Structure 1
Amino acid sequence: MPDAPRVLIVDDHPLFRDALETALECAFPSGAEATHASNLSGALDILRSHPVDLILLDLNLGDCAEFEGLTTLLAAEPGCPIVVVSATETPKAFQMAGALGAAGYLPKSMSLEDLSAALATTLDGGTWFPKTNGTHLPASPAAERIASLTPAQRRVLAGLSAGLLNKQIAHEMDISVATVKAHMTAIFRKLGANNRTQALLIYQEDTSVGSASNA
């Protein structure tokens, strides 16, 4: 565990960003460096020049919804643990986050003490997910297929979902257009898709939990 962990808090609610920073201070009395972003694009901008040890991510932001932000950040920062922090508190959401590769899922209803303990656990290399009273939901076919993609393939798929052209994805990832096309071929094979439209439908199924919550 880093002595002074660098944490990126991605949440569009200032009060809850402050609450998370307070939880970090309780978990790490010697100090933690917290950086804030209110949306996904802001988080990606910060990560380009500011490496972090942990990302705390709200599910629904102004420029993304449900698990779109998680899959995008997992692709952009494959070595960094990402913990979902959300008001969506359903077993399906917990299971989906874990299947996609999140290091944890912290409901916003948690007490400050529990938040602090969970943050310490994830920064120490562990995982933290809510107990679900024995409820177990099998991973959806879409989640399993998305989880099988490499970080680079997930990033290409996220770019496709954002409406980017192959040359734009290539520029964002600093790779050739030919490499993007090779990734797309592998993505179609793993997802069982014949074209971009089918791949996007599978991706959209994966990134939706069908929740009425907006936080």
Structure 2
Amino acid sequence: MKNLSHQVIDWLEKSNLVNVADIHIETLMLVSKFGQLTTVITKGKGCREEIGNCLINMIIICIMSKVSFSDCLDHSIKIKEENLNDPQYILLKIYNIIGKLSGDIANKDKINKEIWNLLAYLTILAALNNSSLLECLEISFKKIQNKKIIRFNGNILEETHEDYPAALAMMKTTTKKSKKLLGNLNSAVQKSSAKQAGNDN
């Protein structure tokens, strides 16, 4: 699971899908993904891909919040409750956690506990579908990893979107300017340090 999550993180970063400024948008996206999960479950259909989609959004939020998703996977929480065979009950518990998670993000509080709990309930939900978190994440990631997707001004654009070429060009230009500025700053710092060293001598 950890190896796959690292692959997902690499892909997300290369696709510019991780920007701390967009964390509130990503929180709404997570609510939306769990909404899709709920819709599928209420229809009595398999939900492995939907669970995987939720996991990807959780990974993004962890990166934005500077929380290690891998470390969260190590926190195995054993849930001892009745009704754990009831998907509807699990969904209610999940939405309760999402409410707390949203509040933590809004208040810039730690989100670790909520991520641990979400992983625990999603693990149970996956098991009810004769699956695992690893399989769910694999299914979801395989569907998107070959797509060309970028985040621009808070919006996620696929390659087929009419604004994709212009957005991609602007992103590349911004990246080049940032690298040039960083290079100039490093050069200025080195010159200043050398000059100071000369004065000290």
Q: What TM-score, normalized to structure 2?
A: 0.33
Structure number, greater radius of gyration: 2
Relative contact order higher in (CA < 8 Å, ≥ 6 apart): 2
Would you tell me which structure has more strand in proportion to its own residues?
Answer: 1
Would you tell me which structure has more helix in proportion to its own residues?
Answer: 2
